[in-house]
Every structure is written in C-alpha cells, then in structure tokens.
Amino acid sequence: MRRFAYWLFPIIAIFVAVFIVVLMIEVNPVAPAIGQDIALDETPKPLLSEESSSGWIKNFNISHEKEYFYPVNEVTIALDDNESHTKAQQYHLVVPLKDSYEFFCLKQELKNSNLPYLLNQEGEGMTALIDSADHTKLTTLVAKLKTYQISATLSSFKED
C-alpha cells in the first residue's frame, strides 16, 4: 500500500499538468501571423480625398471582413442646418402644502394631467415643484388647485 501511495501523488500531478496544458491550448488556439496578412496586401492604397470621403463605410466593411475592429470610444456629430432653434420655454410651478389632504388633492390632479413632480420636505412644511413646457396644463392645474383652496405660484423657469 505504501508503494501505491508513493507513486499515486506524482502520477496525479502529471495528469493535472497535462490537463492544464491541453486546456490552455484549446482555450487559446494559435492565431494566424499578422505578417502573412500584411504580405498579401502590399498594393499601395491611394489616400482618400475629400471627394471620395463617402467610401469610408466600404473601408470599415473591408476591415470587418478581416476581423479587425476600430477602437471607437466616442462619436460626435455636428449638424449645421443654418437655422436657429429656439428653446422651448420652461415653466416652474411651486405648490406649498400645509397638510396631507392638500398633498392628496395635488397628487390626484397631477395623476390626471400626467405631470411629473418633485416633493421637498423642509421640517413640517412640504413643497411640490412641477416643471413643464406646457403652459396651458400648468394654468389649468393652478385653476383646479384653487377649487381645493390650494395656492400655487407659476413662473418661467430660470436656470441658475
């Protein structure tokens, strides 16, 4: 039995080493040499002029067939359409809430008008902030809140 145990551990170590070598070869097969691809493409390529700049997609397609990918981290597109776009006017509605009933009424009206809100709680008082570009929705909301005797302040939004 001692003789068997004496040879058992070295045999297991050899089998594990062979297994690891075979596994490493299977996981990392030999890649084709880069020099062979360069030797096949020894024809000089002309530089792209501004007139033929529409062919850049073809160059990407050819490189994709060779299984080479360009490392792109960020793509920026600048469009100059010679038009000045006016930013939509943003409006800001502030609703100070005194109790939970006012908050419940406000929440129901906001649910009906599909307006998002932000609730700030400072001590005992709560304030609901509602930002929107639709002035008519906000004015109808102010009118509905007045039926519940809730005061609201509507102003144009100013970024700080």
Q: What domains appear along the chain, each with residue ranges and CATH number?
A: 91-156 (3.30.70.600)
| pLDDT by residue, tens only, the chain of 160 residues | 778 888 898 999 999 999 999 988 888 766 555 555 544 555 555 554 544 555 666 666 555 555 556 666 677 777 776 665 556 688 888 889 888 888 899 999 988 888 888 888 888 788 988 988 888 999 999 999 999 898 888 888 766 5
pLDDT of residue 14: 96
Q: Is the whole model's pTM more than 0.85, yes or no?
A: no
Q: How far is the C-alpha of 141 from the C-alpha of 137, rounded, in Å?
A: 6
- Of 114, 110, 99, 116, nearest to 141 by C-alpha is 110
Give the DSSP letter string of 13-25: HHHHHHHHHHHHH
pLDDT of residue 91: 86
- Of 114, 97, 112, nearest to 149 by C-alpha is 97
pLDDT of residue 79: 74
Give the DSSP letter string of 97-155: E-SHHHHHHHHHHHHHHT---EEEEETTEEEEEEEES-HHHHHHHHHHHHHTT---EEE
Half-sphere exposure of 128 (CA within 13 A, CB side): 23
pLDDT of residue 121: 85
